[in-house]
Structures are given as structure tokens and as C-alpha cells.
Amino acid sequence: MSAPAPVEAVFFDGHSARRHMLRVRPTDDGAGLALLAEGAEAEVVWPLSHVRRLPGEADRGMLTLTLHHDTGDETPRDPARLVLGDAQMIAWVLAYAPALDRRDLRRGTARRVVTRLAAAAAAFCVLFFVLLPRLALFLADRIPPETEVVLGQSVKQQIEWLLTVDGEQRALTCTGAEGAEALAIMRDRLTIGLDLPYPVDLVVFDHAMVNAFAAPGGHVVILRGLLDEAETPEEVAGVLAHELGHVAARDPLRAAMRSAGTAGLLSIVLGDFTGAALIAVMGEHVMNAAYSREAETAADGFAHDLLRTAQVDIAGLADFFDRLDRDGTGLPEYIATHPQTAGRADAARGEASDQGVTRPVLSGAEWMALRSICEG
Amino acid sequence: MIETGSFEKATYAGKGGPLFRLALATNLLTVLTLGIYRFWGKTRIRRFIWSATRFQGDAFEYTGTGLEKFLGFLVAMVFLAVYLGIVNLLLFFAGIRFVLEPTTEAELTMQSTVIFVSFLALLPWMFFAEYRSRRYKLARTRFRGIRFGMESQALGYVLRALGHTLLTTVTLGLLLPRQTFGLAKYMTDRSYYGDARFVQSGRWTALYGAMKHVFIGAVIVIAAIVMTFVMAGMNPSDPAGMTPWAILPVVFGYVWLLIGFVYYRVQSFAYLMSNTTLEGEVLFASNPSLKTILTKVIVGTILLVIAAAVVLLGYGLIVAGLFASLGEGAEDIGIVRLVIIAGLYLLLLAALSAGALALITHPVIAHIVATSSVANAEALSRVRQRAFDKGADADGFADALDIGGAI
């Protein structure tokens, strides 16, 4: 490309907003732009190697240039601006300026970024995994047991409502008198010598789901589906022992406090972009699931010890897990709230294998009564 | 007395097509990087819009960098995470401890306080973020090589904003013009172009004219609701039959109210800008047409909805196809299909967001710029350069609190 003819260009010197008109031409050696101001004696040369284009301009008909110069600004650029409008001059500069769009990151930028990022990540991790959980536990322990019992009552009612939401609203608690007696026998057998801050309030809900849960304040609920699915009372006792583990550790309350503290933190990190909400919800679920698995494993361990002390056969618990495992949920472990069922079954079987003397937890009649607790 | 020369208009040279392509690319990259790219994406979009804004042939410049925004965000994130985590926890604790069943007078007060505080916990930070965000954008804007800027008095803004919000709420919105004017004046009076200072003049009561459609809309809605009750009272045997007739005026009033708020925003912006001066010499004027803005918003929304419908249809077909390919006896959907479905959903959101920017926000920006003008622009040539502002958080708080807005 032959050197273009001199043209007029707009120039701002970066010290005042005054507009200057300059004559711009390529230098004789083709390695720079020579700028001549009106009434000036000599030309100022901008070496092409130092010429930079202002990024992101929307218009191809204009080319705004400046110089690379470490001024301590947000980017190392001279405050002066040269605006070219002539097509040939623009084409020539685009062709011959070697570093027009170079970013010119300052030395040590990478190090600065990494340090800040590491500091922020460390602060966040300390907050999320240490500070807030500790604070949550501290506060959870400050809640008086009576308050926790009241809270658990309303949680239980909410779950009752949730379970009947697609049918008719009704009270789910099963009231068969003999079944309730059998339930009390099982509960007392397991809780002898157990020092809990509140009494265990154990009921059966008339619902087909195979499940049991503990609400804050010692409220334990077994769903009828679990009674139907179990083949021996030792299986039910095993599940009950596991739930008692949650009660003893005040897990439901602690989990709620921990969630309350960390709720929304992930959405702060992800900030303001489309789709953030979805990623935040998934992310928080993954993070909380780890805590929940830890609590579940601890409850399993508590159950083993409790069953051993009460001389109830731990093999019942193992059988129950085995049957659950056959049905399967198919969720990968890292997003599941419970550890893999097969693992839990193996652990229980291991405990059962060296268990000493056991006595049946319910008589045949009591077991029949319990199974029909919801029919009364 | 300021001599008034003639007003010269600003121009806007940006087109929706290139902006859509840019926004689509940045949105996709943002989703792929789980949000990390958003700082660079926003920077690029601001550069596009700023450099499309021209006055007397010279373009504005946005000199902020994505890296700066990212680092600033890290600072904001830690502050907010600590604050939010602790406040959330304390509120939840107080909630359980006191809110469940208040038995004494003291506990009743605690209950109200807890509920109150939970609403307000983030409000001061949002005002703080608003001020800092505007300051950062000004500090990274240049015209003719000269920087804009704003003083660093965010705390004063937070206090005033809290006070104004309280007054406006207590008066059920009647003092909104005072809030709008007061906060705008606080920010404008602390803004600079180079060494030249902006001043906001005018009176807050003048903004009541801009509120008129809000009042009309509110009156219609209230009247319609009252009429519904009156007619239901007069017709006790068939109150449900009145409902379709009653709904219409309420909806009508509600739409009027919404448009009234748009009208208020546009007119108050025009008034505020037209009463701004720079170093007592340069004058500004803004004459946006509400009709044009509403038309552009409505047309843009219709186009966006049509495009969204087409894209959603395609998405639905793909999801259906994925389910159909499951085959007999499959227990669950499998992680691969879940990832595809979630991934496509995020892409969809990215495209729709880019579409909204290009079809709705962008035409409004173009119109506002094209109806803005400046008088006595020769005085600008006397403005001298302003020192660099480090801008510690680089509107990171606004990002963390999701109040950044489209640009």
C-alpha cells in the first residue's frame, strides 16, 4: 500500500477539552504518524509501534487512536486522542500499526489478580464452611428446648399439609389404640437411658410413602408406607433409632439455622446475569447436600449404638436398607442428601455380625397391632 | 443571566443488529463460564453504547475494563457475604426465638422489629451500590479525552435515600417527586466534567406535573375497586356475577398506572436534565416523546414475544424428543439428558435477554440520546482534565446486589 496523502484530523491533547485540527501524514520511514498543529514549528511523531486503537468502537468510518503510555490510569494509555476520518489513512494505519489492539497489561497484573481471587475465595470459604456453620450451631444451642418443641409442632403441621395437598385436607395421625401402645413400647425400649432435652413425640401418619422424618423438638413421624413395607419390627426399630439420632443431635434445627445463614450467599457470588438464579439454586443444593450426608451417616452410627444397647437386632436395619436399595433412586451421590443405600446396608450388616444377645423388640401381637394402627 | 445560544442535538450511531450479536455472544460466554465473563461482557456492551453516542461529531468513550470490574466485585462480594450471612442468621434466630408465639409485650415488639429489619437489611447497601455505580460509570467516561467524575460521598447519599424512602412510604407515594429530585440533585451536584461542575437547579414541586398519570391511574383503580364492593353489596344474591364487569375497570386503571409510571420517569428525567448546567455556562435540554418511547417499547416487546414463542416451541420439541428417546423401562432421565435440557434452557435465557436489550432497551436509549441537546458548547473547550479515580469497587456492589440494570 502506498503511503496516503496528508489529511486533516481532529486532536484532543488530553489536558483540556479544546478541539484541535492537525495535519496528519505518515513519516518518511513509514514507521510513524507525523502530526503538525496549526502554527506549530515542528511535527510531533507518534511511532506506529506505540499507537493503540480505542476498543469497542461501533463505527468503522472513524478510527480513534491514542498512545501506549504508562500513566497510572485504568489502562496504560495517554489521555490524548487522535480521530481519523479519512478512509485511506485509516486503512494504512490498520495495515501497518503492529500493536493496534494490544492490551498492554501491566507487569504483575496476573499476580495481582490471582492474589485477590485467592483472598476472596478463601474469605468466602471460611465464611461458608466455618464461620456461619459455627455461628449457626452457637445460636441453635441458645434456643430453649420448649421453643424448639413449638417450632417442631408447626413444622410437622406444615408437612402434614404438604402430604395431603393433592387430596382432601385431613388429619393424618393414626389413632389405633393398640397400635399406639405397641409404638410406645418400641419407643420406650429404645429411649431408656437416653438423655434428651425434650420428650420424644412419636406418631404415625396415614400416607403411602415409605419414609420417616424428625422435626425439631423431638417430633418423630413414621409414614404408614414404611410400616407396610417392613417385614419385621426390628426394621422399624432400626429406622426409629436413626431418627432418634437426628433428635439427639438436634439436626433438624441445626440444618435450618445453617440454611438460613448461607441462603442467598451463592447468588451474591454469581451476581447479576441471566440464568444466575438457576445455577445458584443448583449450587446451593449441592453444597447443603454434603452437610446432610454427614448428618445422615452420624445418625446411622448413633442408631447402631442405640440398637446395640437396647439389644435389638441390627440386621433388621440392614434388611430394610437392602430392600430400599433394590428400588433405587438413581441420583449420583454428590447431589443426593443421603449416602448411598448399599453403603448403609453394608455398614449395618457389619455391626450386626458382631452383635451379642438380642431380644425381639415387639411380640407377634404387638407387631400386628402396630401394622394396623391406621385402620382403627 | 446566562446567555442562551442555540441548542445542538446529540446523535446516536448504534444499530440494534450489531448490538444483538454482541449481547448474544457475551451472554453465551457468561453462561459457559458460570457467570465469570459477565464483567467483560458488560464492559463491551457499555463501550458499544458509549461510543455510539456523539456530540458535534465526537464520540463518548467508556474506559472501564472487565478486569477492574471483576476485582471490584471480589471486594464487594466478601463485604456483602459477611454482612448478609450474619444478618440472615441473626434474623432467623430472632425469628424462632421471638416470633413463634409472642407472650409478653416486649416479645411482641421484638416480633415486629424482626420482620421490619429483614426487609431493610439490604436497603442501605443498595443505595450505596447505586451511588458507587454511577460514580464508577462517570469516572470511566470520557469526552474529547477529558474524564467525567463524581465525588466520593456515598454515605450521605445512603442516609438521604433512607430518609426519602421513609417519607415517600409514609405519605403513600405523595412525596415521591421530592425523593426523585432530592436524590438526583445530590448526585448531580457532585458530578464533574473535567474540572467543571454540574449543578441541578429547579424545584421538586415541578415534578408533580410528571406524576399526573400516576395519580389518575391510582384514582381509577381505587374507584373501580370501591365500585365493585358497592355493587356487590347492592346485589347480595349474585355477587360472583359482577366479577367480569368489575375486573375490566381495575385492569384498565392498572395499565394506566403502569404507563403513568413510565411517563413519570421520562418526564422527570427530561425536567432534571433540562435544569442541569455545567459550570454555570453550558445548558442541557431533553425532549423525549412519551408516544415514541411507548411505541418502541410495545413494538419491541411484541417482536420479542414472537421470537420467544418460536424459540420456546423449538426447545419444547427438543425436550419432547429427548424424553421420547428414553425408551421402555427407563428408570430415570439420566444425567446426560438433564445436562442438555438445563444447558439449552440457559442458552434460551441468554438469547432472550440479548433480544430484550436489542429490541426494547436499545431503541429507548437511542431516542433519549437523539432528543438530548446542549447549548453554549463553546464553553466546553475551556474545561481542563480531571485526576484519575481509582474506584475501589468498580460497581461491584451493584453487581452483587443485582441492581446493575441492563447497562
B81 to A127: CB separation less than 8 angstroms, yes or no:
yes
As for the ipTM of the complex, it is 0.78
In a domain, B32, yes or no: no
Q: Which residues pair with B7 in a beta bridge?
A: B375
pLDDT at A369 over 80: yes
Q: Provide the residue range defining the domain that includes B129.
A: 63-194+387-407
User: Which grid coordinates are listed for B335?
Assistant: 444425567
Q: What is the 3-state secondary structure (H, E, C) of B164-229?
A: HHHHHHHCCCCCHHHHHHHHHHHHHHCEEECCEEEEECCCHHHHHHHHHHHHHHHHHHHHHHHHHH
Instruction: Tell me the pLDDT tens digit for each residue of A221-279.
Output: 898 888 888 889 999 999 999 999 988 888 888 887 777 777 667 666 665 555 566 65
Interface of A with B in 193-232 (CB under 8 A): none
For chain B, the helix, strand and coil percentages under 3-state DSSP, each to the nearest 5? 70, 10, 20
Domain boundaries, chain A: 7-96, 107-142, 146-371
Smallest Cα distance from B349 to chain A, Å: 6
Whether residue B241 contacts residue B288, with contact meaning beta carbons closer than 8 Å, is answered with no
User: Residue A261: which of B47, B89, B385 has the nearest Cβ?
Assistant: B89
pLDDT means per 10 residues, chain B with 407 residues, are 73 91 92 88 93 92 90 86 81 72 62 67 87 92 93 92 93 92 96 94 93 90 83 68 71 89 92 94 92 92 93 89 73 76 86 92 94 92 86 74 69
Q: How confident is the model at residue A286 (pLDDT cuts 50, 70, 90)?
A: low
pLDDT of B234 reads: 73
Please report the sign of the dihedral spanned by the C-alpha atoms of residue B320, residue B325, residue B327, residue B332.
negative
Nearest chain B residue to A262 by CA distance is B85
Using a CB–CB cutoff of 8 Å, tell me whether B339 touches chain A.
no
Using a CB–CB cutoff of 8 Å, tell me whether A13 touches chain B.
yes
Using a CB–CB cutoff of 8 Å, tell me whether B3 touches chain A.
no
pLDDT of B387 reads: 84
Using a CB–CB cutoff of 8 Å, tell me whether B96 touches chain A.
yes
pLDDT at A146 over 90: no
Using a CB–CB cutoff of 8 Å, tell me whether B336 touches chain A.
no
pLDDT of B1 reads: 46
Q: What is the mean pLDDT of residues A162-189?
A: 83
DSSP symbols for A42-58: S-EEEEGGGEEEPTT-S
Using a CB–CB cutoff of 8 Å, tell me whether A39 touches chain B.
no
In a domain, B34, yes or no: no
In a domain, B74, yes or no: yes
**Chain B residues within an 8 Å CB radius of A80:** 145
Smallest Cα distance from A370 to chain B, Å: 33
In a domain, B54, yes or no: no
pLDDT of A284 reads: 65
Using a CB–CB cutoff of 8 Å, tell me whether B382 touches chain A.
yes
Mutate to test the interface with A, among B21, B93, B98, B125 (most CBs of A within 10 A): B93
Domain A7-96's class? mainly beta
In whole angstroms, how far apart are CA A21 and each of A24, A59, B336? 9, 21, 62
Distinct helix (H) and strand (E) counts, chain A = 13, 10
In a domain, B207, yes or no: no
**How many separate domains does chain B show?**
1
Provide the strand spans (E) within A208-355.
212-215, 219-223
Query: Among candidates A192, A321, A194, A211, which has minimal Cα distance to A245?
Result: A194
